[in-house]
Amino acid sequence: MTDDAPDPLLPTVTDDTTGSADTVQRFLFAMAEQDFDTFESLAAPDLVWQNVGLPTIRGRSRILKMLRRGEGKVGFLVKFHRIAADERSGAEQTGRGGTVLTERTDALIFGPLRLQFWVCGTFEVNDNGQITLWRDYFDYLDVMIKAPARAIAGLVVPSLRPSF
């Protein structure tokens, strides 16, 4: 094994700066940085956000309003494990449009409490390079029981704190 071999456990990042996969990465990183201007520019006005099993939120303005309410109170981090884009054939010339699938770890941070859990996401990107659908799937047992238990244990024993 050489030092030049890519580590299969590290996040996959595309070199393409115009493709749908890059759009999704920039979208989630903007959310993590609370860069709502970038987030807004990458979200279509009719964006649909579905956390499967929870109520669907429709419309970029509603989603931004909700996220802005958490500004400075709730932190978000993301680590991509895998990302794959299926660019639409009509968008081949622009590199925009298509479906993006992600496997990632998300962290929600409430003060010293860090809830970390696995997420699979599906994103639809239109020909303008804006996200029209953001659908996340996750294990409720992980989010509601395991992640809080790990977070609380990490408060008591710092070496148990979840991290990337």
Residue with tokens 């509603």: 62
Residue with tokens 């390079």: 129
Residue 8 to residue 40: CA distance in whole angstroms:
32
Residue 127 to residue 124: CA distance in whole angstroms:
10
Task: Select which of 7, 37, 106, 127 is catalytic.
Answer: 106
106 in catalytic set? yes
Task: Select which of 15, 136, 139, 142 is catalytic.
Answer: 136
Residue 93 to residue 33: CA distance in whole angstroms:
31
Q: Residue 106 in contact with residue 116, Cβ under 8 Å? A: yes
Adjacent-strand bridge partners of 89:
none
DSSP state, residue 11: P
136 in catalytic set? yes
- The catalytic residues are 106, 136
